[in-house]
Amino acid sequence: MYNYQIKNIFFQWIKDKEVIRYSLSIFQKMKSNIEISHWFDMLLLDKSSYNKAIVDKTNEKLIGYTGIAQISETNLSGEYFIFIGDKSYHGKGIGTFVTKEIVNKGFQELGLNRIMLTVSEKNIGAIKAYTKANFKIEGVMKQAFYREGKFHDKVIMAILR
């Protein structure tokens, strides 16, 4: 699949308020294809992140992306992320499966000792997936997440090698 085809898929996902409800704050700001395209191009150039596509192997369909950002070679740590843009795959256990796979790669291939993440308290499905993947709650950032006119807490979770 060519980058422009992948970008077109991201254009659809990022413009869907339901899909991006709990996602990156930058997704909330991007409105035009040009903004999304620029973000996507920067993602491809980011050498401090481990980025992987999430593909349904039964039909070779791109359904999202995942990885570990802000990798610190000094601290042997990074921040996990996942974005399943195709709504038809939500709530099917894919998040748990992908999370376990990427965490394993982070520990085995990247040599990390700690992988953390933050998640909105309202994103119950994600918290369940991360818990099933053995992430532990470390703390809460009060009112650190603003969506739909309200502040919500962000949960800090992490897993150690």
**This prediction's pTM:** 0.89
HSE-up of 123 (CA within 13 Å, CB side)?
27
Strand bridging mode 50-56 / 61-72: antiparallel
- Tens digits of residue pLDDT in 118-142: 999 999 999 999 999 999 999 999 9
Q: How many helices (H) and strands (E) does the chain have?
A: 6, 6
Domain 3-160 has CATH 3.40.630.30: yes
pLDDT band at 2 (very low <50, low <70, confident <90, very high): low
Instruction: Answer whether 145's CB lies under 8 Å from 154's CB.
Output: yes
* Residue-range domain boundaries for the chain: 3-160
